[in-house]
């Protein structure tokens, strides 16, 4: 929002300068320029967060905004820094409440506090996010029936691949886990792809690895 406001001000300043120079711009053209600037800016943010396959672009985007708790949290989670992640979740409120709860589930799983993770997962309002986290916790608890029920309700294809990869990994089928994991990554875009790639890289270096991602 702040970026959009800045560019609206820039657009107004350009219009003022052209006016001072004696260049006449119709009102409809001035409005069109401002709208075009807003569309370009919003489109860029959406492209980076939801569509690009370039994880370096996503990482640069996050690092540039790391003073904002949400983006700092995404960086911390992707790099497995639980201490920082917990600190940033405490700063998230309002529209980021669902992201905060989902992050807390991830943190509690990493700390092997599965009952706490299950309680938080049950509080998530978004159906897909709630079912995904419930399935993940159930898998870690060895509750296969609950895992299957929750997974079947996950609408997002990428998240279903992630869950299936995690199940295969825990069953000792590393080849199947690799195939499903890379299928998840190849299907993902933007921020989701970045988090999956960095999480996998981190787990591959973990001598005490207990999950695929």
The closest alpha carbon to 70, from 91, 46, 43, belongs to 91
**Residue 149's domain spans which residues?**
55-204
Domain total for the chain?
2
If we measure between CA atoms, which residue out of 161, 95, 105, 164 comes closest to residue 129?
105
In the chain, DSSP finds a helix count (H) and a strand count (E) of: 12, 0
Cα 164 → chain centroid: 19
18 band by pLDDT with thresholds 50, 70 and 90: very low
Does residue 103 register a pLDDT over 50?
A: yes
Give the up-direction half-sphere exposure of residue 185: CA atoms within 13 A in the CB hemisphere: 19
Q: Does residue 113 belong to any structural domain of this protein?
A: yes
Per-residue model confidence as pLDDT tens digits over 188-205: 999 999 999 999 999 999
Report pLDDT digits (tens) over 148-184. 999 999 999 999 999 999 999 999 999 999 999 999 9
Please list, in sequence order, all residues whose beta carbon lies within 8 angstroms of the beta carbon of residue 173, skipping any fewer than 6 positions away.
Answer: none
CA distances to 84, 108, 130, 139, 175 from 89, rounded to whole Å, are 9, 12, 17, 24, 35
Task: Please report, for the domain that includes residue 186, its CATH number.
Answer: 1.25.40
Q: Are residues 94 and 6 in the same domain?
A: no
């Amino acid at each position: 929002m702040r970026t959009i406001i800045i560019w609206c001000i820039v657009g107004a300043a350009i219009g003022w300068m052209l006016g001072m120079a004696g260049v006449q711009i119709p009102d409809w053209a001035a409005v069109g320029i401002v709208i075009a600037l807003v569309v370009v800016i919003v489109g860029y943010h959406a492209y980076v967060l939801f569509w690009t396959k370039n994880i370096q672009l996503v990482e640069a985007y996050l690092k540039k905004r790391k003073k904002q708790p949400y983006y700092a949290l995404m960086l911390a989670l992707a790099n497995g820094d639980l201490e920082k992640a917990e600190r940033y979740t405490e700063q998230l409120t309002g529209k980021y409440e669902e992201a905060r709860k989902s992050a807390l589930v991830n943190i509690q799983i990493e700390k092997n506090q599965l009952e706490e993770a299950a309680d938080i997962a049950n509080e998530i309002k978004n159906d897909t996010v709630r079912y995904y986290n419930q399935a993940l916790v159930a898998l870690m608890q060895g509750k296969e029936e609950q895992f299957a029920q929750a997974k079947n309700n996950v609408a997002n294809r990428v998240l279903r691949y992630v869950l299936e990869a995690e199940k295969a990994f825990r069953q000792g089928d590393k080849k199947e886990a690799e195939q499903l994991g890379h299928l998840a990554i190849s299907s993902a875009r933007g921020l989701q792809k970045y988090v999956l790639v960095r999480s996998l890289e981190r787990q591959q270096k973990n001598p005490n690895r207990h999950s695929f991602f």
